[in-house]
Structure 1
């Protein structure tokens, strides 16, 4: 099998019996990917050659599990295909868990080795058990770092997941970021659209609460009591 072919095309070219066998062998490959994603571990190694003493987490785990030797789907492209599929399923599960609840959006900026800007997005919401949940949603590419471009990226994100801006109840940005001016403008644009999307300078909150474990425990207790009182009404 040519490792550069898309995994879906390869699968459909097999006979029925071969497809069953291939699916069984593919499970070992997917299990390796799921484990690395769950643990937040890197896939690639510095030296993945056959005579390398450490070929990286993915190949080493693949060999450790004694995966079928004739499973030739270890190319980085196929790994990315399955990782992207896992990301879609995970994000969909998060959106379902939100269940049209009110939520907050937390945003930070990230710059890669090519000095290209990205927007890191998290959602904060209360689930149906009354627990405050924070979930990483993804890293969005931005065409530029202007306020308008950032707002357009958020609109696209909301549209993709069928979210309404009217359900937004808070927005937070990293005040230590070198994009503080752009984030300030973004805050204003969102509040023009939804006055209930209150702004929180979340790096200050994290620093204050994180300075003492006692402060954190007290805040959690007070938040629990507040949620209980709100539910009574």
Structure 2
């Protein structure tokens, strides 16, 4: 009497189990695609991300290549996926990126623990003319090697020292880093950074006197090379005319082709 009911339940359970497996495969494929593109630092999106688009973007294109070599993936992704569970939308891509970023930050936190660390900060505007501040932590790992971990990219309304100071403190505390362990600061030589009284480094030194400031070595090297080049007339003349030469050549495909032919012959 109860056999049909038992069979129905077993079939429903099997169907649910198969659906879960397909969803897991679909999600894992999207995660792998996001991890690869993020690791390579390339753009995710194309002009039009529909399946039949001629330029669907790197994310969709990578899923297509993956399915080409894997029948299990091919059977569950893109047009073979249900409309409400494709896991390819911009929102899903961002969610996966946020999860990966969270895991990386946790790993940085675990590596630092309660040890001392330094911060390396630089700011620049993005394509949308929004000020962005990059925060990198520099520390010595358990094996004694110096490591640098990219912590976050923070949007700031302006680049005044007070705004940057507040944003850095907020970011570090939100990720559970103790400011008492701050032992170094690395910035460029802009006045808002290195100002003796109101600069960013001065604001940190006021509360954390052991957080010594070091002018960014790469920026110092650049300034040194620029200053040295100005003392040599031929070098100074070369770098003065170089931008004009580059603009003249790259502004014409014909001149660019001629330059490439000359390089091959040379």
Global fold match (TM > 0.5): yes
Alpha carbons of structure 1 residues 144 and 76: separation in structure 2 relative to 1, 3 Å: same
Q: What is the distance in 2 between the residues matched to 1:42 and 1:174?
A: 28
Q: What is the distance in 1 between the residues matched to 2:142 and 2:212?
A: 23
1:182 counterpart residue number: 192
Aligned residues between the structures: 193
- Are 2:219 and 1:204 equivalent residues in the alignment? yes
1:101 counterpart residue number: 115
Q: Is the 8 A contact 2:119 2:136 kept in 1?
A: yes
- Are 2:171 and 1:145 equivalent residues in the alignment? no
Offset at residue 34 of structure 1 (A): 1.3
Equivalent in 126, 141, 164 of residue 127 of structure 1: 141
Alpha carbons of structure 1 residues 197 and 118: separation in structure 2 relative to 1, 3 Å: same
Alpha carbons of structure 1 residues 152 and 89: separation in structure 2 relative to 1, 3 Å: same
Alpha carbons of structure 1 residues 110 and 61: separation in structure 2 relative to 1, 3 Å: same
1:63 counterpart residue number: 64
- Are 2:132 and 1:118 equivalent residues in the alignment? yes
Higher helix share: 2
TM-score (norm 2): 0.66
- Are 2:40 and 1:36 equivalent residues in the alignment? no
- 1:79-94 matches, cutoff 5 A: 79-94=93-108
- Are 2:83 and 1:73 equivalent residues in the alignment? no
2:251 counterpart residue number: none
Q: What is the distance in 1 between the residues matched to 2:102 and 2:31?
A: 15
Q: What is the distance in 2 between the residues matched to 1:154 and 1:31?
A: 31
Q: Which has the higher contact order (CA 8 A, sep 6+)?
A: 1
CA deviations over 1:137-182 (Å, ceiling 9, x no partner): 110122332221111111111211211222111101123xxxx222
Q: What is the distance in 2 between the residues matched to 1:193 and 1:83?
A: 35
Partner of 1:43, secondary structure, is coil
TM-score (norm 1): 0.75
- 1:133-172 matches, cutoff 5 A: 133-172=147-186
Partner of 1:155, secondary structure, is helix
Q: What is the distance in 2 between the residues matched to 1:142 and 1:193?
A: 22
Offset at residue 56 of structure 1 (A): 1.6
